């Protein structure tokens, strides 16, 4: 097995002193200097001096811990095609947008062992990644052999798993879900689940096929929010019986949030992830003609403005713990396959590059969330939940020097012409942004300058530990 574990022994020849910026954490934003030595942050405070350091004036800038995107799909074979972005282009896009660590889904094909799946993903990512990377293990075929492999996964730094409640090729039934959760219960690992009711989706799809109504505008109709809410409730019932915490990935609707709240009241331990597309886009996009609507075909589908409002509020109140992207990119040519029949269209959209600036512009600047809350959902919470804290997710002495220098005074707009994904469209084309990811340090190395990658393929595998995020 090939791994390139982050050993943190590489050293820069001179220390770097970031002077005069506002350092953001999940609890405050304070004017502080940051001293970097080699791959680590060694000191954070006012008026640091180090005569051997290269001083970088970052006054007027916001200094965030490197963002963590715990939900990407790079180099994934799905719907008889493969995602437009592999680890090379996907991690370039990520780091140019300030994301210094991604967690992708190593995915077990049916009949395959977990170790084969993990090895496959190491091969996909090794020596091609421009930000650090880790893997969740998506279990598509649960059996006794797979159960025996679970501790070995954890030993190799895979401290989180994924299960799908829909998609023929990957879904687990309730019994297997129960067994997977039970098997992992005492390991301190966490399972993220794609919650949608498979039977309803299949039945509604059949109905619309019979009616010859298979254009993109039907996509949200076969996956209404109750399809998600039902599966969320079923998952949480299973998790409560097993007595184990779970994560709901890419939660999209107010109705599902209400189900989560109901179960939390009963003592259920559940973490929630949402994504920028559910905060900022709505289902009117599916009425756009031809490939315009196809750009937004993802599952769960985009919802109503009211759902987005509820999700922003849930970030503010702490009911949602993380914002990831579910970056799963395809070109328009790939999307075109399903233009006459949306059920054949590869699901997903790009987003790994734009998450930070969108949350800053439409969350912080619009006063929907505070800058500390932004840091919590992009940095600290994912680091804790996925066993990387305090190595990642925080700017403090001893942590990896993964740092985003965000210039709050530079406005811009999003475009496929300037993004780094291989997708030939951007779902946020023309959207105005406030603030720009100016510089990014990855374990002490400046890898992005002026929004462009200047040092590539410096990403390393991150071995992760147990979940340590307090239950909501």
What is the total residue count of the chain?
472
The answer to whether residue 136 forms part of the interface with ligand URP (CB under 6 A) is: no
Residue 443 binds ligand URP (CB under 6 A): no
Q: Which of 348, 351, 356, 363 binds ligand URP (CB under 6 A)?
A: 348
Question: Does 326 help bind ligand URP (rule: CB under 6 A)?
Answer: yes
Site string for ligand URP, 270-299 (x = CB under 6 A): ----------------------------xx
Q: Which is nearer to ligand URP, 214 or 440 (CB)?
A: 214
Contact 360, 308 (CB under 8 A): no
For residue 252, the tally of other CB atoms under 10 A from its CB is 28
Task: Provide the minimum distance between the beta carbon of 273 and ligand URP in the complex, in angstroms, as a whole number.
Answer: 11
Per the structure block, which two tokens stand in for 432? 């105005």
Task: Write down the least CB distance from residue 295 to ligand URP, Å.
Answer: 12
Min dist CB 407 to Zn ion, Å, is: 31
- Considering beta carbons, is residue 21 or 301 the nearer one to ligand URP? 301
**Residue 328 found at the interface with ligand URP (CB under 6 A):** yes
Query: Residue 178 and residue 167: Cα distance in Å, rounded?
Result: 18
Cβ neighbours of residue 402 closer than 8 Å, sequence gap 6 or more: 65, 66, 100, 101, 132, 392, 441, 442, 443
Q: Is 194 in the site for ligand URP (CB under 6 A)?
A: yes
- Radius of gyration of the chain from its Cα atoms, rounded to whole angstroms: 21
Least Å distance between CB 243 and ligand URP? 26
Answer with the entry of ligand URP, Zn ion, none that 347 interacts with (C-beta below 5 to 8 A by kind): ligand URP
66-85: contacts with ligand URP (CB under 6 A): 73
Measured from the Cβ of residue 120, the count of other Cβ atoms closer than 10 Å reads: 16
**Residue 427 lies near ligand URP (rule: CB under 6 A):** no
Show the DSSP H helices in 126-224 as ranges.
144-155, 174-184, 198-210
From residue 272, how far is each of 27, 79, 322, 461 by CA, in Å? 20, 27, 7, 25
Residue 347 touching ligand URP (CB under 6 A): yes
- Name the residue nearer to ligand URP (CB basis): 183 or 299: 299
Inter-axis angle of helices 114-125 and 144-155, nearest 10: 40
Residue numbers at the binding site for ligand URP (CB under 6 A): 73, 194, 298-299, 326, 328, 347-348
């Amino acid at each position: 097995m090939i791994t390139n574990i982050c050993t943190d022994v590489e050293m820069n020849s001179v220390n770097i002193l970031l002077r005069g910026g506002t350092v953001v954490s999940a609890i405050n934003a304070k004017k502080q200097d940051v001293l970097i030595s080699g791959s680590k942050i060694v000191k954070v405070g006012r008026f640091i001096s180090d005569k051997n350091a290269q001083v970088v004036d970052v006054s007027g800038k916001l200094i965030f811990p490197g963002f963590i995107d715990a939900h990407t799909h790079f180099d994934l074979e799905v719907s008889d095609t493969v995602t437009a972005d592999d680890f090379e282009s996907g991690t370039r896009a990520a780091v140019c947008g300030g994301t210094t660590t991604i967690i992708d889904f190593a995915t077990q094909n049916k009949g395959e062992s977990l170790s084969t799946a993990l090895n496959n993903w190491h091969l996909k990512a090794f020596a091609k990644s421009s930000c650090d990377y880790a893997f969740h293990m998506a279990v598509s075929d649960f059996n006794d052999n797979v159960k025996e492999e679970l501790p070995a996964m954890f030993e190799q730094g895979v401290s989180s798993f994924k299960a799908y409640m829909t998609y023929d090729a990957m879904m687990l039934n309730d019994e297997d879900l129960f067994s997977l959760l039970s098997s992992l219960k005492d390991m301190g690992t966490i399972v993220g689940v794609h919650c949608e009711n498979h039977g309803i989706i299949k039945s509604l799809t059949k109905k619309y096929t019979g009616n010859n109504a298979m254009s993109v505008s039907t996509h949200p109709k076969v996956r209404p929010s109750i399809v998600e809410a039902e599966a969320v409730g079923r998952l949480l019932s299973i998790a409560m019986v097993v007595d184990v915490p779970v994560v709901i990935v890419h939660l999209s609707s107010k109705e599902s949030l209400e189900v989560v709240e109901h179960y939390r009241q009963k003592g259920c331990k559940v973490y929630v992830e949402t994504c920028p597309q559910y905060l900022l886009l709505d289902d009117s996009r599916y009425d756009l003609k031809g490939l315009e609507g196809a750009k937004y075909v993802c599952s769960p589908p985009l919802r109503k403005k009211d759902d987005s409002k509820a999700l922003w509020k849930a970030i503010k109140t702490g009911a949602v713990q993380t914002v990831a992207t579910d970056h799963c990119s395809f070109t328009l040519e790939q999307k075109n396959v399903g233009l006459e029949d949306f059920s054949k269209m590869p699901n997903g959209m790009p987003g790994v590059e734009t998450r930070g600036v969108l949350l800053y512009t439409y969350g912080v600047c619009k006063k929907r969330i505070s800058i500390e809350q932004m840091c919590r959902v992009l940095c600290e919470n994912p680091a804790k939940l996925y066993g990387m804290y305090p190595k990642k997710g925080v700017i403090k002495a001893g942590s990896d020097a993964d740092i985003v220098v965000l210039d709050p005074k530079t406005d811009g707009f999003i475009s496929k012409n300037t993004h780094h994904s291989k997708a030939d469209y951007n779902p946020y084309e023309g959207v105005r942004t406030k603030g720009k990811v100016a510089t990014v340090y990855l374990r002490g190395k400046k890898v992005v300058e002026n929004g462009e990658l200047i040092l590539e393929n410096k990403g390393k595998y991150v071995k992760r530990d147990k979940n340590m995020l307090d239950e909501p």
